[in-house]
Amino acid sequence: MESSKCTGVIFAVLVWSASGVAMLALETRLDLANLSMVLVVASALSSLWLPGWISAVISAVAVLAFNWFFIPPKFTFNVDLQQNALLLVVLLLVNWIIAGLVIRQRRLTEAARQLATREARLRQWGDTLRDASNPAAHAAALCAALEEATGRAVVVSVRHTLGQPSGDPRSLLVGAPDDEQRAGLAVCEREGRAIGAGTGRYDQLDDVYLPLRGRGVTLGAVLIAGLGHRPEGEALRSHLQALCDQMGSALHRSLMGAQEQLAREQAQLQATRSALLAAISHDYRTPLATIMGAASALREQGARLAADQRERLAAGIVEESERLARLTDNTLQLARLDAPEVRLRCDWESAEELVGAVLRRVRVRPEGSRVRVQVAPDLPLLWCDAMLVSQLLDNLLDNALKYCPGDSPVELQATCDAEFVTLVVSDRGPGISAAWREKVFEVFQRGETALSASHADRDRGAGVGLAVCRAIAWAHHGELLLQDREGGGCRFECRLPWHCDGQGPATPMAPEAHA
């Protein structure tokens, strides 16, 4: 600012010097009326850089100098009242009028420039807050914008929650206010109105306090030190309040969005709990009834039953107990994998051993003989949670055996490429339409095949198995895809990376963490 003023004074001095030299050079060629035009031009040009009162004084001095050097009798201030007095008076008035008009236009230009700067600042600040997921993190940017606009020290106080009281020490504070200023910030935030010099409230204060206003709520306050001494205080305060209101609105939107998201998550959690309880109460009832009936028959009539009858009842108890165990495991694993920061118990595991263990468990079941296995040679070790991956394969095989015809085989394949080990379970069942290919991976969705089955078949699952499978794949930074199989049937393809890179939804534990 000081350098621009010095530059303006230098230009003004050069203009007056050049005009003096020009008038001296043209004195013998022009009459006094034409020569005075050079003085008028110099006065108008110098007014572009000089303050108003300085320009008026210099114009008056220039008219006196014009009288001294050019109007006869020269080198005196005596003038011919009939010939030159009117010329001097008009020359002075014209200089002052032109200087006044130029200065007024310069002030209008400066005001327009300030207005454009403020509009650009508001627009840029609005763009910054519109894209901000956490507006409170931009409190320092608001402080910098206010300091740029005022040239004064600024303190910003921001509340983190709607229920947080004003002046709470947990508020985000940018700056170093003293105790009196902290009290002023608390009063401004509590009342939601500007206070300080020129606001009509606590005018004796030199500082100005502006609220961060949202819709019907105040979420902070701003202190601008010494703003009351600024001559353009009212217009500038309106601009500053607009910046603060943008911050307040963004904070309000962010907090309301967070509350809405929390309410939505709680409602979803409650709906999931209700559905889970309903599913458990429904799907546990049938196997429990079967187990209780078979156990009661064995206890009360075991001596009168034939050996094959006792064997069938015992087998039924074992089968229904296994169903209950699978349902319980799926439900617990789904709850565990949906929890934040889930940690897996990973180790280097052999894909052949995982497939072999699953196959041994499946072959015990009556329909297990339909499972065909094909494992590629030299598969790499997998960094995984063996229990979860085994549960994934158990669920996929159980699902395939449940819905494909009794005489068709179910195939389990294990292959690998440069990045992934791929586990594939294929069947020759009725398949799943495109509309249900994503829905079947949602909790408590059993697909159109299950929905159209008989009542006995519908009671065979709660619709959590495939949801658990996808959750397990995601927890290992892999994916589970459902594809149509050529010739009919489904193909579930689970792609697992050879090792976890630590960038997915879970952070696996090192082997020594559970040794």
pLDDT, tens digit, 9 for 90 and up, residues 348-390: 989 899 999 888 888 877 788 889 999 998 888 888 888 888 8
* pLDDT given for residue 493 in this prediction: 92
* pLDDT given for residue 417 in this prediction: 87
* pLDDT given for residue 455 in this prediction: 37
Rounded to the nearest integer, the mean pLDDT of the chain is 78
Q: Which of 174, 217, 169, 170 is nearest to 192 (CA)?
A: 217
Q: Is position 383 within any domain?
A: yes
* pLDDT given for residue 334 in this prediction: 65
Task: Indicate whether 492 pLDDT > 90.
Answer: yes
Looking up tokens 């508020």, which residue turns up? 171
Q: Which domain holds residue 323?
A: 285-338
**pLDDT band of 515, cuts 50, 70, 90:** very low
Q: Is position 276 within any domain?
A: no
| Residue after which a domain boundary falls, among 338, 364, 382 | 338
Residue 186 sits in a domain whose CATH number is: 3.30.450.40
Residue 423 sits in a domain whose CATH number is: 3.30.565.10
Pair (206, 92) in one structural domain: no
Task: Indicate whether 502 pLDDT > 50.
Answer: no
- Provide the percentage of residues in the chain whose pLDDT is more than 70: 82
Task: Indicate whether 340 pLDDT > 70.
Answer: no
Q: Is position 216 within any domain?
A: yes
Q: Is position 130 within any domain?
A: no
Q: How far is Cα 91 from Cα 460, in angstroms, rounded to an integer?
A: 108
Pair (323, 355) in one structural domain: no
Mean pLDDT for the stretch of residues 469-488: 86
| Residue after which a domain boundary falls, among 258, 276, 307 | 258
Q: Is position 231 within any domain?
A: yes
Q: What are phi and psi of 154, to 5 degrees?
A: -130, 140
Candidate from 110-114, 209-213, 230-234, 473-477 with smallest mean pLDDT: 230-234
Q: Report the C-alpha dihedral over residues 271, 253, 137, 241, rounded to 10 degrees.
A: -160
* pLDDT given for residue 513 in this prediction: 35
* pLDDT given for residue 373 in this prediction: 92
Task: Indicate whether 181 pLDDT > 80.
Answer: yes
Q: Is position 127 within any domain?
A: no
Amino acid at site 360: R
| pTM exceeding the 0.85 threshold for the entire prediction | no
* pLDDT given for residue 335 in this prediction: 65
* pLDDT given for residue 433 in this prediction: 79
Looking up tokens 């106080």, which residue turns up? 157
Mean pLDDT for the stretch of residues 194-222: 87
Pair (389, 443) in one structural domain: yes
Q: What are phi and psi of 216, to 5 degrees?
A: 75, 15
* pLDDT given for residue 452 in this prediction: 45
Pair (376, 487) in one structural domain: yes
What burial letters (b/e) apply to 117-144, b meaning 16+ CB within 10 Å? Answer: ebeebbeebeebbeebeebbebbebbbe
* pLDDT given for residue 514 in this prediction: 34
pLDDT, tens digit, 9 for 90 and up, residues 284-293: 776 788 888 8
To the nearest 10 degrees (0 to 180), the angle between helices 233-283 and 307-338 is 170
Pair (244, 318) in one structural domain: no
Q: Which of 47, 59, 52 is nearest to 90 (CA)?
A: 59
Q: How far is Cα 155 from Cα 182, in angstroms, rounded to an integer?
A: 10
Q: In what order do the strands lie in the sheet with 154-158?
A: 172-174, 154-158, 218-224, 208-213, 195-196
**pLDDT band of 315, cuts 50, 70, 90:** confident
* pLDDT given for residue 74 in this prediction: 79
Task: Indicate whether 494 pLDDT > 60.
Answer: yes
The residues, ordered by sequence, that sit 6+ positions from 441 with a Cβ below 8 Å of its Cβ are 466, 467, 469, 470, 480, 482
Pair (195, 233) in one structural domain: yes
Pair (319, 359) in one structural domain: no
Pair (50, 25) in one structural domain: yes
Pair (367, 501) in one structural domain: yes
Pair (372, 509) in one structural domain: yes
Q: How far is Cα 415 from Cα 330, in angstroms, rounded to an integer?
A: 26
Q: How far is Cα 326 from Cα 396, in angstroms, rounded to an integer?
A: 12
Mean pLDDT for the stretch of residues 111-127: 80
Contact 444, 330 (CB under 8 A): no
Mean pLDDT for the stretch of residues 284-311: 81
Candidate from 32-41, 229-238, 254-263 with smallest mean pLDDT: 229-238
* pLDDT given for residue 233 in this prediction: 63
Contact 410, 340 (CB under 8 A): no
Q: Is position 131 within any domain?
A: no
Amino acid at site 244: C
Does 273 or 48 have the greater pLDDT score? 48
**pLDDT band of 507, cuts 50, 70, 90:** very low
Q: Is position 269 within any domain?
A: no
User: In the chain, how many domains are there?
Assistant: 4
Does 153 or 336 have the greater pLDDT score? 153
Mean pLDDT for the stretch of residues 154-165: 73
Pair (362, 433) in one structural domain: yes
Candidate from 109-113, 223-227, 409-413 with smallest mean pLDDT: 109-113
Pair (455, 321) in one structural domain: no
Does 484 or 507 have the greater pLDDT score? 484
Q: How far is Cα 455 from Cα 438, in angstroms, rounded to an integer?
A: 24
